[in-house]
Amino acid sequence: MEVQLSYPTGMSHASGSSLFSPPPLYPDADDLPAWYGNIQYLLNISAVGAASCVLLFVFVKLRSDHRIPGPSALFVKLLAVYHATASQIALHCGADARQFLGIERSSFIVLASLSVISLVVALPLNLWAGDVPMGDQFTRTTISHIPAGSPLLWFHFFLMFLVVVIAHLGISRMGDYLRNTRFRDGSGNPSDSNFSSIAIFTIMVQGIPKNLAANKLPLEEFFQHRYPGKVYRVIAPFDICSFEDLIAQWNKVQTEICRLESLVGARTIAGIGEDDGASQGSDNTVWRKLKTLWCTMVSMLGYTDDERLRKLHNLKLVLETKLLDYKEGRAPGAGLAFVIFKDVYTTNMAVKDFQAERKKRPIGRFFPLMELQLGRSRWRVEGLRRLLTSTGITWV
């Protein structure tokens, strides 16, 4: 059976076959302009973004002053903002604004340095030294414009190394700037710009041997070995509670010695008076014998005032020796230490490291000799700032 295809009026068979033929996959490159990768397009987008930022600053930010300033007033205000120090920014806007502006300033310096290298060195090199045919303007500004195997690619490698070094130095300087961190107190008020607290740089280690207060060198060596160059100071305080108990006990002994010395002196004077009265005619031998017998028994048992006075003097010497140990730095410690780091990042890392080790410590683990001397298995490490916050203590 033969099927006849009928075409509408005015359409031939050739035009009908072209109707069912697939369209070309890609249009000709000469038909459409290449808007992507065009430097002019990128410049237009950048100009629109910059104009938007300037208009937002002029018509939104500056209208908070109830009137838009003139050109001279605007220049004076921008100049004052440019010359504002970090302390002034922290005092008026808080530490958060100071840190944000510090990050923005460091980022701008790094990006500006990289942009100078790109525009002065890399861009002319790619434009004039490359000879690979490219279809758009943007690709001719990249390394793809330089042919493979060209010695100029090594120069690009050197530029890449230089960019990495500049970025690393800039980020390191940014980190050094952020280490001078200020924080808010318990009420949310910003801290004083002239005050530098060390609470956020300090960790508290509990469970160390008490003899480390007199010689904390092993503890310092342990933290210096674990965090080289990051430890500022290690403080192992003495046992202040024992010190206060010693002072209270010494005062009590001193008071008791004074009382007994007064009592013995009074008895001596009274005994002299009784001897004088007995020589004048009142002779009671029975009473004197009983009194002598009682004194002999008390003396044998060690309950005389002279014996008590001697023991109190010996106890006073012992207490003075222990108090002298505190003065000369030989007293026992409180069983804890405060480690002050040079930056807050190392402080947080140290707390996390010790807490993770405490959770993952296997049973029957063998410790090195230094850790055994430091009582490492009994340590409990906490950040000092978190402890102060949890106990409700506020600081300025």
- Cβ-in-10-Å burial (0-12, 13-18, 19+) of 159 comes to middle
Cα–Cα distances in angstroms (integers) from residue 232 to residues 210, 222, 227, 260, 371, in the given order: 22, 13, 11, 53, 21
183, 185, 125: which is closest to 154 by C-alpha? 125
The pLDDT assigned to 168 comes to 92
The pLDDT assigned to 166 comes to 92
Structure token pair of residue 145: 């414009």
End-to-end Cα spacing for the chain: 101
Edge-to-edge strand ranges of the sheet holding 202-206: 231-235, 336-341, 202-206, 380-383
The pLDDT assigned to 392 comes to 38
341, 390, 161: which is closest to 233 by C-alpha? 341
d(Cα 12, Cα 19) in Å, to the nearest integer? 11
d(Cα 35, Cα 46) in Å, to the nearest integer? 15
Q: What count of Cα atoms within 13 Å lies in the side-chain half-sphere of residue 124?
A: 5
* Model pTM above 0.85: no
The pLDDT assigned to 198 comes to 65
Structure token pair of residue 148: 């493979």
194, 197, 186, 185: which is closest to 90 by C-alpha? 194
d(Cα 205, Cα 339) in Å, to the nearest integer? 8
Phi, psi of 14 (to 5 degrees): -65, -40
Q: Which segments in the chain show pLDDT lower than 50?
A: 1-3, 5-30, 32, 35, 184-196, 278-282, 363-367, 388-396
Q: Which fold has domain 199-239+332-390?
A: Alpha-Beta Plaits (3.30.70)
